[in-house]
Chain A
Amino acid sequence: VNETLPTFRVWRAATLLMAAACVAGCAPVRDELFAVTESAGGRATTTPTMTAGSAASGLAGAAAAAANGGGGSNADGGTPGGDAAQDPTLNPFADFGWTETIPGAGSCQAGTFNGNFSCKIDALLSMEPLEGSLSLKLKGSTEAQLLSIGGGQLIAWDQNMKLIVTAPVTGTLDCNSQVLTSYVQPTPSEVMPADRQIAWLNLSAQPVVSGMLKGNLDPRQQTITGDFTLLFDQSPKCVGTFTVRLSP
């Protein structure tokens, strides 16, 4: 069997000679030769030279291991084997893409959504803007179809940054429709100055504030945006928008 080794040596010598000599004039032969050389080079073609004795000990030992219940390197399994070699025929550039959702970070994730709102007072004598902050604590399991606002708060102030109201917010987020429906619970406002009462055409010193928020969840951004309405008693009305985002 080992006699094939001289064969290889002769072949290799011929290859080297041919590579040196065939600079021109034998292109067809050269192409074929180089193809064979590529096969042999790097992965040099050799004939196994292991002696019968060493081979015998190898297989006998392995057979003994198998007889003893050994399963080889695969037996210690678990996660995909770390010692496996990469298949060189695989295409590293093949790409399979799709926007991923982190498990549990889908459309209905419980947590605290913080943000703000802005609206404009719709009164005959005033169109002053109103701003404020929103905090909605959504509670429920990831698999749930409906998350409830377990703790919500709205804080509103006017353009002079004077506090108007701090009111609780309740409601639900429907995971199927991705719609938030929530309410600002009726709450007496801070004491209103006379000029604002006149401007708003509401002569109550502490008008009761209530309101409604209706928004849509963007599950990829984990934001809820929508329309916002605040009422001071029945008038005036403040209409605007809100945005809240899931806090880390």
Chain B
Amino acid sequence: MHALELACAALLAACAIESPQSGPQHRDAGASITLPTGGDAPAAAADSGVLPPPPTRLNPELIIANGCAAAPEQSSLTPSNLLFVVDRSGSMLCNPPPTTSSEMCELEEQRADNAIASKWELTTRAMVTALATLPDSTFVGVSYFSNDARCGVSSLPNVPVSRNTPAQRSLIATSFASITPSGSTPLVGATILGYQYLHQAALSGQITGNSYVVLITDGQQSDQCSDPARCNGADDCTNLLVRETALAYADGVNIKTFVIGVPGSERGRTVLSRIATAGGTAAPGCSVEMGNCHLDVTREPDLLTALQSAFTRIAGETLTCELDLPHPDGGTVDLNLLNVVYTPHEGAARVIPQDNRACDGGAADGWQYDSTRHQIRLCGRSCTTVRGDRGARIDVVLGCPVIGPD
């Protein structure tokens, strides 16, 4: 019992020393994290007698020059990986409404007016434009369904996911241009195999960050494109896809699914909304029954503009402003002693202050700790500035007391 008492006493003593300056701790994948203690943290630490009192007003230049830094770690915005799973069925040949109604297109899959772009051509244009606006750090790829003018699908994309360089964008544009829409709509198999591809790439470490499937279709699953070992008929297979989409969105896989419904998908609105909802991208306040949870461009008068708007929204939601926490040799990350330094492509480095005001659409302009994702998140203008700077460098500097907003 004596040893037990001694040990417990020692433990309590240790906790008493550590807790005032450390705050609550929880585990991260790579390090333990000491959460911020608030504005009076330095004073509390000083009272404990363990830490030397930090400067009451830290000069940002000191951090940039590493006058107090214990460990600078170069960081970067968490990359996004987008796999576009695109419908190339025969109906994509049709002109969009009002030239050819979706009903007419179902009866006759052909381009009625050669002077007017087809749904496929408009999708191609919108894609090419959207890719040009995404940063090079984003990874993009394209998978068409089908791959054989019938029901064929493959986990290997037609253009494998790679960095969004000019070469990759050119590859995708060329690929789109080489396609003549034909065949059925095996969207279930194509989407499921898209999850498989992205998940395997993440497991093997080939991609990191946040992954997304962007499903673009002008219809619904074709009855004849079942996989008898797994499902039979359009309804059964679609139910399977909804389950798989939820699995993809869940922890451990973390793939979100956006769904764009092109004219022709009107009758599939409910189904496409179910997929978007299961995939974590449902529009706020939407209703699956109403079929308005996905990106429905069937109601818009100008398909090209509507598609571009949909891609813009996806880009806005997929381009992250998140930074991974550094893992300094498995050590503690003390958020009271952490700063973010932004070095623009052109210009002098500056410290991004911590700002814990509301981030999404709020007043915050700085960084804050996202306890759910265990990441640093940039908010407001800090986010847009860093995200828009292709040559930016971000350093997470440990060891200096955190700088807050002015």
**Number of A positions contacting B (CB below 8 A):** 87
Q: Which one of B3, B204, B332, B393 lies within 8 Å of A47 (CB-CB)?
A: B332
Q: B227 contacts A99, CB within 8 Å?
A: yes
B177 within 8 A of A: no
Binding site for A on B (CB under 8 A): 1, 3-4, 6-8, 10-11, 13-15, 17-18, 21, 25, 27, 29-32, 50-52, 64-72, 74, 76, 79, 81, 136-137, 139, 146-156, 158, 160-163, 165, 180, 182, 188-189, 192-193, 195-196, 199, 201-208, 227, 229-230, 244, 247-248, 251-254, 328-332, 334, 337, 341, 343, 345-346, 349, 390-393, 395, 397-399
Contact of A47 with B331 in the complex, beta carbons under 8 Å: yes
User: Does A160 lie at the interface of the complex (its beta carbon under 8 Å from any beta carbon of B)?
Assistant: no
Indicate which residue in B1, B71, B161, B391 contacts A50 across the interface (CB closer than 8 Å): B71
Known: A10-B17, A103-B156. A40 touches B230 (CB 8 A): no
A89 & B29 in contact (Cβ 8 Å cutoff): yes
Asked whether, in the complex, the Cβ of A107 is within 8 Å of the Cβ of B152, the reply is yes
Most chain A beta carbons < 10 A, residue from B7, B8, B180? B7
Residue among B161, B163, B229 with the most chain A CB within 10 A?
Answer: B163
Please determine whether A43 and B152 come into contact, CB atoms closer than 8 angstroms: no
Interchain CB contact under 8 A, A85 and B149: no
Q: By the criterion CB–CB under 8 Å, are A108 and B329 in contact? A: no
Interchain CA distance A169-B206 in the complex, whole Å: 51
Q: How far is the CB of B253 from chain A (nearest CB, A)?
A: 5
Q: Which residues of B contact A20 (CB under 8 A)?
A: 3, 7
How far apart sit A67 and B330, CA to CA, in the bound complex (Å)? 30
Query: Could you say which residues of chain B place their CB within 8 Å of the CB of A91?
Result: 251-253
Q: What residues of A have a CB within 8 angstroms of the CB of B208 in the complex? A: 81, 84-85, 87
A33 adjacent to chain B (CB < 8 Å):
yes
List which A110-132 residues lie within 8 A (CB) of chain B: none
Q: How many Å lie between the Cα of A69 and that of B64 in the bound state?
A: 19
**A85 to chain B: closest CB distance in Å?**
6
Q: How far is the CB of B34 from chain A (nearest CB, A)?
A: 9
Do B158 and A103 touch across chains, with their CB atoms under 8 A apart?
yes
Whether the pair A29, B150 counts as a contact (CB closer than 8 A) is no
Known: A17-B6, A71-B391, A87-B29. A99 touches B69 (CB 8 A): no
Please measure, in the bound complex, the distance between the C-alpha atom of A233 and the C-alpha atom of B253, giving whole angstroms. Answer: 67
Chain B: minimal CB distance from A119 (Å): 31
What are 9 A-B pairs at a CB distance below 8 A? A26-B4, A62-B343, A72-B76, A86-B204, A94-B247, A98-B227, A101-B146, A143-B180, A176-B150
Knowing that A55-B71, A98-B192, A103-B154 are A-B contacts, what are 16 other residue pairs whose CB atoms are under 8 Å apart, sorted by A's residue number? A3-B51, A21-B3, A22-B4, A26-B4, A36-B25, A45-B32, A45-B331, A56-B66, A63-B343, A84-B208, A86-B205, A96-B248, A100-B193, A106-B148, A107-B150, A175-B149
Partner of B3, one of A4, A15, A17, A52: A17
